[in-house]
């Protein structure tokens, strides 16, 4: 579900971009499916297309409830994020592909976009391969707003991120993030037990005009030369049910940083996960 929201964010970004360029917009968003997969950093092979439809169905099933109390009476209203979607296919059998995709956003969401009540995000957001980095960017975007900076304790930040890894591994990732300085729009510094997010034009010290985005693991903190695929990270759920896949990936990065580069990093990672978790309770 965490990756499903990227589809929604991509649709919203397209509408906001059109609106900023004085183009007429409506609740229907027509997409080229291949572009959607590429821009949201999904595989463009059969697996990418197969995963897209279940993701749309999950989004279609999300219901938001709002409660309004007036005159001593409470009214609850439920609505979805997207109302419907439609796609067309080309090819046949195993070579079949989605040709185009049309998504109709809910009236509530479209009104929020049309009245500029939705925050814009950097296009580089989709280039962040680590889910934890995307979440950190979202938090910085929400809380910084028009302020020059936002300060938060590391413990509370971990809770807001929903990370279940050990505090020392989360802290290691924050140190790596402060070092690489690769979040779009924001820089992050560490002060004692607090993380401080700065708008780039307000950040202390020299800032690169366009920070490099690491293409390594989704949450690794040990070495940017170690590359793991998204599929390998997802397979952790099969090999080690109940374990925090991001914690395991971070621990693997620390371990692999002291080893020679593997011929097949994904295979070594999955073998390490199997060996490390075998016979141990999830944590």
pLDDT tens-digit series, residues 184-220: 889 999 998 899 999 887 666 655 544 544 433 333 3
Token readout for 55 is 């993701």
132-145 pLDDT, tens digit each? 888 899 899 888 87
Is 1.10.10.10 the CATH classification of the domain at 4-114? yes
Q: What pLDDT, on a 0 to 100 scale, did the predictor assign at position 222? A: 37
**Options 3.30.379, 1.10.10, 1.10.1450, 1.20.1070; CATH of 128-199:** 1.10.10
The 10s digit of each residue's pLDDT in 153-178 is 999 999 998 888 888 888 988 998 88
The pLDDT assigned to 206 comes to: 55
Please tell me which residue, 96 or 107, carries the higher pLDDT value. Answer: 107
pLDDT at position 189: 92
- DSSP secondary-structure letter at 123? G
| 3-state SS string for the chain | CCCHHHHHHHHHHHHHHHHHCCCCCCCEEEEEHHHHHHHCCCCCCHHHHHHHHHHHHHHHHCEEEEEEEECCEEEEEEEECEEEEEEEEECCHHHCEEEEEEEEECHHHHHHHHCCCCCCCCHHHHHCCCHHHHHHHHHHHHHHCCCCEEEEEHHHHHHHHCCCCCHHHHHHHHHHHHHHCCCCCEEEEEECCEEEEEECCCCCCCCCCCCCCCCCCCCCCCCCCCCCCHHHHHHHHHHCCCCCHHHHHHHHHHHHCCCCCCCCHHHHHHHHHHHHHCCCCCC
- Could you tell me the pTM of the whole model? 0.56
Q: What pLDDT is stored for residue 274 in this prediction?
A: 92
* Of 240 and 251, the one with more pLDDT: 240
pLDDT digits (tens, 9 = 90+) for 43-52: 777 777 788 8
Q: Which two tokens stand for residue 205?
A: 């010290």
- The pLDDT > 90 percentage for the chain reads 13
- Tokens (6 digits) for 66: 């709002």
Residues of the chain with CATH 1.10.10.10: 4-114
Task: Give the pLDDT of residue 4.
Answer: 82
DSSP state of 148: S
């Amino acid at each position: 579900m965490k990756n499903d929201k990227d589809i929604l964010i991509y649709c919203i970004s397209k509408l906001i971009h059109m609106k900023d360029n004085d183009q007429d917009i409506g609740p229907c968003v027509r997409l080229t499916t291949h572009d959607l997969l590429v821009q949201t950093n999904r595989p463009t092979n059969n697996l990418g297309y197969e995963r897209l439809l279940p993701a749309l169905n999950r989004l279609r099933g999300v219901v938001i409830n709002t409660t309004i109390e007036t005159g001593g009476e409470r009214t609850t209203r439920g609505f979805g994020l997207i109302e419907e979607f439609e796609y067309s296919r080309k090819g046949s059998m195993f070579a079949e592909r989605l040709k185009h995709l049309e998504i109709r956003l809910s009236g509530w969401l479209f009104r929020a976009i049309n009245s500029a009540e939705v925050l814009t995000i950097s296009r580089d957001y989709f280039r962040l391969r680590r889910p934890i980095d995307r979440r950190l960017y979202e938090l910085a975007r929400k809380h910084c707003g028009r302020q020059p900076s936002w300060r938060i304790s590391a413990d509370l930040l971990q809770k807001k991120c929903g990370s279940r890894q050990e505090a020392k591994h989360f802290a290691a990732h924050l140190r790596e993030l402060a070092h690489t300085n690769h979040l779009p729009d924001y820089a992050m510094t560490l002060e004692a037990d607090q993380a401080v997010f700065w708008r780039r034009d307000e950040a202390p010290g020299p800032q690169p005009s366009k920070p490099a985005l690491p293409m390594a693991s989704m949450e690794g903190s040990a070495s940017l030369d170690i590359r793991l695929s998204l599929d390998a990270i997802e397979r952790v759920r099969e090999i080690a049910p109940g374990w925090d896949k991001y914690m395991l990936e971070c621990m693997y990065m620390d371990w692999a940083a002291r080893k020679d580069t593997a011929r097949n990093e994904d295979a070594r990672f999955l073998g390490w996960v199997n060996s490390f978790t075998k016979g141990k309770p999830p944590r």
